[in-house]
A and B are shown apart, each in its own frame.
Chain A
Amino acid sequence: MKVTWVWSIAALALVAAACGGGADIEVADAWGRPSPSVAANGAFYMVITNNTDSADHLVAASSPACAVAELHESMMNDGVMGMAPVGPAGIEIPANSQTTLKVGGLHVMCIDKQAEFVAGDTFSVTLEFENAGTVDVEAEIKEG
């Protein structure tokens, strides 16, 4: 009985590992909001999953859609909304966990947009992680 249990758990673990995709860092739902060319800047949002046993950090981003891309965070202080670049350590993705870049929070700020962002367009965004290296994603332009 006990031995069967052990084997079952081992088998399950193997299956889970095989289905997990294996990539150290996975990025899903990368998107940005439509904005006219007169809006100088835009933002990209996404869900970043760290499948490894050690924390990783998103330290830089770039995209042909932006003259410069920076990692920023919007935050509320005493009822006043502000936005600032994140510190030099970048954005932490804890071990075996997720960090979500979302509206009103962490985002990739796309400075001096090189194109109008039209719903349905996609732009490639290159993310640079401290451990995992470079990860390319396609960000879709869509409403919320």
Chain B
Amino acid sequence: MTETLVPEAEHPSSRRWLGLSVLLVPLLIAGLVFWWGFNRSQPHQFSGSVIQGLSAAPDFTLSSDRGPVSLSDYAGRIVMIYFGYTFCPDVCPTTLADAAAAIDSLSDDDAEDVQLIFVTIDPARDTADRLGEYVRHFDDRFVGLTGTEEEIGSVATLYGIYYRAGEGSEATGYLMEHTATLLVIDQAGNLKIVIPFGVESDAIASDLEYMLR
């Protein structure tokens, strides 16, 4: 051990550094090139569950404060659908604010190719007027839809959304329990991604950008 250390200590330190650089610099460059190529070849990581294969999003028509709206009105665009209720103080406004921020971060042209539809699961309290004012607070382009209990129920079933009125307090009255996912339909009209609650706007924006490319 000491035998090997002694001769090495006698080397001028500059020569040691030179040797090290000759070895390390090409390695560093190779690493950077590899990392760059690797990143470019990586498939996009969606922020939610990706629906494999083609799953045509069923059409529906419900009411907004500006008249009836059908999913097919937005054919050729990306449509995000969220089922919620205006009485909801926490989860629903957070999702709408995140979706709005994601769309906002796109270029104006791209943003025009994305439509968000908010469907109430609480039609007893959410009138079309209330919904319209509520969703446009988050983004002027958002659409809020309501209908009869039966109409809402059948649209929710088509999209695998569960909801029911749960217990609240004396002050709140009933509170809704609901599937709080953000559904993303691609430009071809297929259900593409199911984004769980809690995904931040950057990740949503990255999915939209990928789909718009």
Contact = CB atoms under 8 A, between A and B. Distances in A.
Interface of A: 33-36, 38-43, 67-68, 70, 72, 74, 76-77, 79-85, 103-104, 107, 109-112, 143-144
A33 B179 CA distance: 22
Nearest to B129: A38
A122 B172 CA distance: 23
B133 A84 contact: no
A88 to B, nearest CB: 12
16 contacts: A34-B137, A38-B86, A38-B134, A40-B86, A40-B87, A68-B171, A72-B89, A74-B90, A80-B178, A80-B180, A82-B166, A83-B177, A85-B169, A104-B94, A110-B89, A143-B97
Instruction: Name the residue among A42, A74, A77 with the largest chain B CB count within 10 angstroms.
Output: A74
A39 B166 CA distance: 19
Interface residues of B, number: 30
Contacts of A110: 89
Contact of A36 (B101, B133, B167): B133
A81 B197 contact: yes
B175 interface: yes
B166 A79 contact: no
Given A81-B197, A83-B91, 15 more contacts: A35-B93, A38-B134, A39-B87, A39-B89, A40-B86, A41-B172, A42-B89, A70-B171, A74-B90, A76-B180, A80-B179, A83-B175, A84-B167, A85-B168, A112-B171
Interface majority SS (helix, strand, loop, mixed), chain A: strand
A5 B56 CA distance: 72
Q: 4 nearest interchain CB pairs?
A: A81-B180, A82-B177, A36-B137, A41-B89
